[in-house]
Amino acid sequence: MNLETLQNLWKEDCKIDDDLYCEESLKIPRLHQKYMEYYNTFSLMKKEKDGDYRRLLKEKWLYYKGKAPATIYKEMPFDLKLTTKEEINMFIEADEDIRKVKYKMDYLDQVIFFLESVIKQISVRNFQIKNAIDWTKWKEGS
């Protein structure tokens, strides 16, 4: 499941049938449960990525500081001697592995933001349905 798939699902689920307000109202708990499951799944994925990021950050800090095991330097030589915190941070921030994990974390943040917005919309759906019913009554002169 990815952001595009979730957006397409919501594109369909967000529609309210004008002729079936009662049934639409009854769908609210199911919609809420459905999107809460997605929200929980992606929130847990984000926590896992946070842990991966912290572990990788430590490994990269040791590597760029020159304190990683010798076997690491045999696989990936690094001949520079970084002396300042700024130099080490610059190399860590530019490191491809760090950037990939950071991108995945940002992506998960975006998915979670989208799901939070959907859940808020579902939470006010009763009011939207009630307003639509009231509008229909007013148009018909009731």
From the CB of residue 125, how many other CB atoms can be counted at a distance below 10 Å?
Answer: 18
Are 72 and 63 in contact by the 8 Å Cβ rule? The answer is yes
Cβ atoms 102, 11 nearer than 8 A: no
pLDDT digits (tens, 9 = 90+) for 25-46: 889 999 999 999 999 999 999 9
* Enclosing H/E stretch for 114: helix 96-123
Percent of the chain with pLDDT over 70: 99
> Above 80 in pLDDT, residue 19?
no
Q: What is the pTM of this model?
A: 0.84
Predicted confidence (pLDDT) per residue in 41-83, tens digit? 999 999 999 999 999 999 999 999 999 999 999 999 998 999 8
Q: Which residue has the tokens 């994925």?
A: 45
**CA-wise closest residue to 110 among 26, 56, 42:** 42
